[in-house]
Amino acid sequence: MILKNVHPAYDWQEIAHLALCSRLMDEMEENELTPKGLVTYQFSARGHELGQLLVSQLLDRPYDAASVYYRSRPFMLGSGLSLEEAFASDMARTGSINGGRDVGVVFSMPRRKRAMVLPMAADVGSQFTPAAGYAQGLVYHKNELKTADLEDSIAVVFAGDGAVAANGFWSSLTIATTLKLPLLFVIEDNDYAISVTSPHQTPGANIAANLASFANLKIWDGSGTNPEEAAELAHRAVQYVRSWQGPGLLRLRVPRLSGHSSVDNQAYKEEEALQEEWTRDPIQAIKEYLVPTAMRENVWERMLLDAKRDVRLAKDAALAQPYAEPETVTQFALSTKDNVQQVGGLLAAGIELPKGTDVPNPVDPRRINMVEAIRRTMEVELKVNPRCLTFGEDVGYKGGVHAATLGLQKAYGEGRVFDTSLNEEGIIGRAVGMAYAGLMPVPEIQFRKYADPATEQINNSGTVRWRTNGRFAAPLVIRIPGGFRKIGDPWHSVTSEVTFAHQPGLLFAAPSNAEDTVGLLRTALRGNDPVIFFEHRAMLDAGWARRPYPGDDFMLPFGKAKTITEGDELTVVTWGAMVERCELAAKDLEGVEIIDLRTLAPWDETAVLQSIQKTSKCLVVHEDIGFGGFGAEISATIVSKAFLDLDAPVERVAAPSVPVPFSTRLMEGVVPTIERIRERMEFLLAY
C-alpha cells in the first residue's frame, strides 16, 4: 500500500504496525508477564517508539551499524528483531538473542534487513565509544582497505538524556568531532534519568543547545512524538552524516510513559506531569498523522487487530521455548575452532593469518631489549595484516613514552599508527568498535594505573562473546606497561594483574624477556580473543631480559610455562620482573626449579603440578599485593590438586597491601627483593 501525504522516505505502514506491536508488548509485559514472574526485569519503551522506528528505516546501507541502549526495542524491531525473539529475550529463553545470558533489553544483532546492532552493555554511557570506534573503522575501510561496497555507511548511537553526563559520551564526542567521523548521536530526552530530572544532568536541561557551538558537530533538535517533525529531522540528520562531512547530534523530546523499569512506580512524578506526558503519546500522534489523510480508520483498526494477533502469537511461541541448561553456561567464554563469531575480528571477516612456530630461529645473535622486541613484532604484523592498527596517547610521531612504536607511523602512516585524545575510556572503547568492524586494533595504555578509567570497556570486551551467545567478539590486544622501575610511585608502578586475570574472557600475558615478548605478542595479534599484554617497565631495557630476535614466525602458545632452572627440591612459580630476581635469589642453591608462567590467563597448571610431584614444596613469588593476589589462586589449586604431594606449606612472597612508594628505600618494603625471596627459598629447602 502506498500512503499519500506523508514523508516519502519511510514505510509508514511498517512504522505504525511496529509501533503498535512495541506498545502492546510493553503493556503485556508490564500488566501480565511481569506480575506472573515470567519476565523478571522489564524496561518499557512506551513513548520512545516513533523516533527509533524512523531512524531504523533509514539505516539500509551494507555497513550501517547502531549502538543502542536498554530502551531501544522499537529500533530493534525495525532492524529485524522478531517479536518472538523480543519476548524470548525478556523471558530468558533459548530463542532469545543472547540465550538467556544477559538482560533481555541488552541488545546486539548481526545485520539482517537493516543496520547491524553493536553489542551494548548495561553500563550507562558505555555504548558511545564503541560506536565512535566503529565509525572510525568505516573510515579505515575506506582509506586504508579500499573496501568496495562501503558506499556511505554510517554509525548511529542511541542514548537517553541521563547518559550525556557519562564519561563515554564526552569521550566519543571528542573522538567524533576531532576526526570528523560519520557518527550520529540520537539523544532521546524524556526529562528523567530514573528519578533525576534533566537540570541535574545537563545545565539548562538541553544538551543540543549546550553543544550548538561545538566545533565540527551538526545539531538538530525537536519533537520525537510529532511524526511530521520527527521524520524530517531524522531524515536530515541521517543524510547529513551520510555525506561524511562530520558527526551530528539529533535530540528528540519524548515522554517516558512508564517507570524506569518494572520496579519503578514513578512516585516522584506529580499527577500533572504524568498527565502531560500522555498528551505527547506518539501512538496517538501516528494515528492522527495517518488517519484519514493517508489511510482510512478501518485500515488502522485492522492494523491494530493484526498487531494484537501477532503479539499474542509471539508471546505464546516464546513461552513454549525452553530455558538453556546449566551445563551450557560456560560456552562462549573464549574462542574455539568450532564456534567462530559472526561479527568481530579477522576470522569473522574470513581472514586467517599465517601459522607460526614455537621454535626460535634467530638469524642475528645480537641481543635486543624488550622495547625493540615489541617494535619489531608490531612492524612485522602491520606488514602481514593490513587490518592491524595501533594507537594511544603519544603512540604516533613520538613513538610512545617507552619508544615501543618509534618509527611505525612514518613507515605505515597516520591512518594505522596514530595519537588519540587523552581518555582511556575512548582508547579502549574505540578499539572495541574497530574490532566489530573487522580490524585488529592494538591500543596502548601508557601505564597500568591509567587503565582504570577504561575498566568498563576492558571488562565488556572480554564478556561480549559470552553475552551475545557467541555471535559477536572483540579480538584486540591492549598493551599496558607497568610495574616498578629504578624508582616507583603509586601511579606508574602498579601491576595488579589479578584484576584482569579475574575478568572472564580476557587473556593475560606477562613476558619476562624479549624472546617471549615476541612469541606471545605475535600469538595475541593473530588470535581471536581480547588480550591484555603486560610489559614490565623494569624489563623493557634490562640486560637480563635481552635475547636474540627469534624470527618473524615465532609464536608461543598461551598457557604454556617455561622452566628457567631445573631442580627437585623446591618449585618456584613466578612471572614478569620477578623471574630475574628469583633466578638471582636461587644462585648457589641446590635443587631449585624456577617456572616462568609467562601467561596468567590461562596459566600452566599442569607444569606447576608436575614440578611439585618432584619437589614436594612450592614458593610463589609475585610483585602484586599478596592479599587476594594471583598467587592465592595458584596456592589454592596446589592445595586442592597436589595436597598429598606436599611436604611443606605453600609459601608466597608478595607485596603488602599498600601502593608502590616513590622512595627507593621505601620500595624495598613493597616490591619483593632478592633477599626476601632467598630467605623464603632457604626456609622451604630446610623445612
Reported as a single tens digit per residue, the pLDDT across 456-466 is 999 999 999 99
User: What would the mean pLDDT of 514-543 be, rounded to a whole number?
Assistant: 97
Rounded Cα distance between 45 and 96, Å, is 18
Q: pLDDT for 253-273, tens place per residue?
A: 999 999 999 888 999 999 999
Across the range 315-324, mean pLDDT stands at: 97
Handedness of CA 385, 389, 395, 398 (dihedral sign): positive
Q: What percent of the chain is modeled with pLDDT above 70?
A: 100
At residue 415, the pLDDT reads 96
- Tell me the pLDDT band of 4, cut-offs 50, 70 and 90: confident
pLDDT at 2: 65
d(CA 40, CA 28): 13
Whole-number Å distance between alpha carbons of 669 and 556: 34
pLDDT value at 1 more than 70: no
Place of cell 627437585: 568
Kindly name the residue from 235, 492, 536, 622 that is annotated as catalytic.
492
DSSP strand pairing (651-655 vs 547-548): unpaired
At 578-618, the pLDDT tens digits run: 999 999 999 999 999 999 999 999 999 999 999 999 999 99
| pLDDT, average across residues 324-348 | 95
Cell, residue 197:
530530572
What are the start-end ranges of the E strands in 450-493? 477-482
- Annotated catalytic residue 492: yes
Which residue, among 335, 346, 353, has the nearest Cα to 464 in the 3D structure?
335
Classified as helix, coil or strand, 208 is helix
Over residues 476-499, mean pLDDT: 93
Amino acid at 25: M
Q: What is the mean pLDDT of the segment spanning 430-440?
A: 98
Residue for cell digits 494515528? 287
- pLDDT tops 70 at residue 550: yes
Peptide bond before 602: cis, by omega within 30 degrees of 0? Answer: yes
Closest listed residue to residue 600, CA positions, set 474, 462, 499, 465: 499
Distance set, CA 199 to CA 169, 204, 453, 605 (Å) = 17, 6, 26, 55
Please, which contacts does 141-146 make with residues 24 or more away whose CB atoms are closer than 8 Å?
141/63, 141/437, 141/438, 143/415, 144/386, 144/389, 144/413, 144/415, 144/416, 145/386, 145/387
Q: How far apart are CA 619 and CA 678, in angstroms?
A: 10
SS3 assignment, position 608: helix
Instruction: Quote the CA–CA distance of 608 and 621 in Å, as a whole number.
Output: 13
At how many degrees (to 10) do helices 83-90 and 297-319 cross? 50
State the chain's mean pLDDT as an integer: 96
Q: What is the mean pLDDT of residues 200-208?
A: 94
Question: Which of 146, 227, 207, 139 is CA-nearest to residue 178?
Answer: 139
Report the Cα 252 to chain-centroid distance in Å.
Answer: 28
3-state secondary structure string, 485-500?
CCCCCCCCCCCCCHHH
Residues 405-414, mean pLDDT to the nearest whole number:
97
Model confidence pLDDT, tens digit, residues 624-648 = 999 999 999 999 999 999 999 999 9
What is the model's pLDDT at position 113?
87
DSSP code for 4? P
Does residue 554 register a pLDDT over 80? yes
Centre a 10 Å sphere on the Cβ of residue 142 and count the other Cβ atoms it contains. Answer: 17
Total-model pTM: 0.97
Three-class secondary structure of residue 385 per DSSP: coil
Q: Which cell numbers in the block locate residue 385?
A: 595484516
| pLDDT bucket at 498, cuts 50 / 70 / 90 | very high
State the CB neighbour count (10 A cutoff) for residue 35.
Answer: 11
Q: What is the pLDDT of residue 487?
A: 85
479 bridge partner residues = 444, 533
CA angle (115, 118, 120) in 5-degree steps: 135
**Strand order, beta sheet including 507-509:** 417-419, 388-392, 440-444, 477-482, 531-536, 507-509, 599-601
